[in-house]
Structures are given as structure tokens and as C-alpha cells.
Structure 1
Amino acid sequence: MKPNIHPEYHPVVFLDTTTGFKFLTGSTKNSSETIEWEDGNTYPLIRAEVTSDSHPFYTGRQKFTQADGRVDRFNKKYGIKDTNAAE
């Protein structure tokens, strides 16, 4: 391998934003966010939407944290009322 061309490999905490699952592993990714781990040390925090804790291939089932569809989430976020909804 050529010297001085590979990124630095260091410990990083990954957080599954879907389930809240955290794990410590080595990575070349950097982050400005940090978190204190169980061992008392502070590590960079990388937020991930899908990890082995939430992906159906690893879990064997779907984990639904939010049942709303895209349109419903958009309307809720921007305060748009659905005029066609049954009251």
C-alpha cells in the first residue's frame, strides 16, 4: 500500500435514528457531533437511518416507527389542513 494516502481509522459511535440503537466501531468517517460512550470516553457520533438493528434483512421483520405517509408528514410539518379528511 502507498503511504500517506489512506484516511485515518478511529473509533466512532453510530446511532440508528429510527430505533435509537447505538454501537461503537472503527470507521474513517468524521463528525462534529460527539457522544460519551459507556466506557467514559468521548467519540464522534454518526447518525444513520438504517443499521442492522432496523433493516428488515437483519431483523427478519419490518419495524415501523411512523405510520404516516409522506404527504401526511409534509402536511403535519408545514401545518397544512386536509380539507378532504372525514371529520
Structure 2
Amino acid sequence: MEIKILGSGCSNCKKLEANAKEAVKELNVEADITKIQEIRDIMKYRVMRTPAIVINEKVKMFGKVCTVDEIKKYINEEI
């Protein structure tokens, strides 16, 4: 599973990344978590507000920090 955190590196982006790592840990799934910070790369996902989370190349949420439980739900949709 591939999880991408889209954002400039702000505190909300860092919190979303931490929540994603916690969700992966709690679900005991294997996932590569990467940060995408270049605006051109973020725009490829048609995301206009960050932070955003992309799982297996599907934008799941943008413009807010997802909770651990929300991310777990998104991960389960992709398993």
C-alpha cells in the first residue's frame, strides 16, 4: 500500500503524516508513507487545499487533518 501526504510541510501536514503512521501501526499493515511537497506534484492530484492524503493513488481527503480513525477507514477501503 502506498500512502502520500501532500502539503508544504506545515504543522498540519506533519500532524497528518503522524496520524497516517499511527493508523498503519494500529492496523498492522505494510505501507510506504511519502511526503509530496512540490506544488507541481501536488497539483497533479487536482488538490487545491492541503494537507491531503492519497492512498493507492486515490485522493481520500484534502483541506483538513484526518484523524487516525478516518485514515484507518480509508486504508480499509483499499485492502
Q: Which of 1 and 2 has higher RCO (CA within 8 Å, sep 6+)?
A: 2
| Higher CA-based Rg | 1
Q: Write 1 or 2 for the structure with the bigger share of helix.
A: 2
Superposition TM-score, scaled by structure 1 size: 0.26
Superposition TM-score, scaled by structure 2 size: 0.28
